[in-house]
Structure 1
Amino acid sequence: MDFSGKNLTDSSFNKANLRGSNFSHTNLQGVSLFGAYLDGANFEGADMRNATLDTARFTKVNLSNAILEGAFAFNTKFEGATIDGADFTDVLLREDTQKLLCQIATGKNPVTGRDTRETLYCD
């Protein structure tokens, strides 16, 4: 599915199979992706502030320059994700997930101006 550039504020995609979908530059503020399968999806430049991402599978997704500020992602899987320039300010993550993301964190978000490593509290 191609959702690029759309306004999907407060939409619900709970437990949906969105494998390979394009959400680039999409407004996803407040969206619920609870338990969604998103393998290989593109979220480049997406605004995901205050989204519910818990138990979603973000494996091999592109989160470059995405804003996830305030999102709930405690049991979310991010294996193989690209997070260059992503903003994780105030995102609730498991400690093991936070450490995994710190290993690959680079860049600064072009909208918020925040450094990815700093938003993840990497040492």
Structure 2
Amino acid sequence: MFRIRTAILCTLLALFLLLPLPAHAASSAATRAIDDEDIVTQDFSGQDLREAEFSNNQLAGANFSEADLTAVVFNGVDLTGASLKNVDMTGGMAYLSSFAEADLSGAILTEAMLLQSSLRDATVTDADFSFAVIDKDQVKILCETASGVNPVTGVDTRDSLGCP
């Protein structure tokens, strides 16, 4: 079942990347770029950060607990040791970002794309990674300590990662 799901996701990702899509003008309301100058605190807990874009930010140890990170983009962001407890990162994307030693307890990362991102020593107790795209080596690392059931979605963490 895991291999079939992975094959389907890879096929859809390939189609998404290869087929041209119609261009749409982005509005400032749809996407909010967060620059280092905009960050006056490392406490984003409980905030509505839907569709925000973080790029090359230094957010090691930041607090995102209970934040709405739906469709957020982390591009080259250092989130080492950050708290992402109980965040909803559905449909989010992280590319070349570090979640090393981050706390993702209770997080919902369904359909998230965590590409070339480090999840070394991250806490993923009760997290839901259903249909997430994660590098194979990172899944292996997460499966070593993954446990629990997400309290919102009712999904077993190990099952959502496809752990053996």
Q: Give the shorter-chain TM-score range.
A: over 0.9
Residue 61 of structure 1: aligned partner: 102
Which structure's residues are more often helix, by fraction? 2
RMSD of the alignment, in Å?
0.7
Partner Cα distance (1:64, 1:57) in 2: 16
Unmatched 5+ residue regions in structure 1?
Answer: none
User: In structure 2, what is the equivalent of residue 19 of structure 1?
Assistant: 60
The 5 A counterparts of 1:1-123 are 1-123=42-164
> What is the CA–CA distance in structure 2 between the aligned matches of 1:103 and 1:119, rounded to whole Å?
14
Look up the SS of the partner of 1:97 in the other structure: helix
User: Which amino acid is 2:101 matched to?
Assistant: K
Structure ID, larger Rg: 2
Q: CA deviation at 1:74?
A: 2.1
How many positions carry a matched residue from both structures? 123
Q: Which structure exhibits the higher relative contact order, with contacts defined as CA atoms closer than 8 Å and separated by 6 or more residues?
A: 1
Matching residue's letter, 2:152: V
* TM-score normalised by length of structure 1: 0.97
More strand as a share of residues: 2
Q: Distance in 2 between matches of 1:23 and 1:67?
A: 13
Segment drifting more, 72-81 vs 57-66:
72-81
| Cα deviation, residue 15, structure 1 | 1.3
Residue 14 of structure 1: how far off its partner (Å): 1.4
In the alignment, the residues of structure 1 paired with residue 157 and residue 149 of structure 2 have an alpha-carbon distance, to the nearest angstrom, of 6
**TM-score, with normalisation over the residues of structure 2?**
0.74
How far residue 95 of structure 1 moved from its aligned partner, in angstroms, is: 1.2
**3-state SS of 2:134 partner:** coil
Runs of 4 or more off by more than 3 Å in structure 1? none
Quote how far apart the aligned CAs of 1:44 are: 0.2
Percent pairwise identity? 38
Distance in 1 between the 2:104 and 2:153 partners?
A: 15
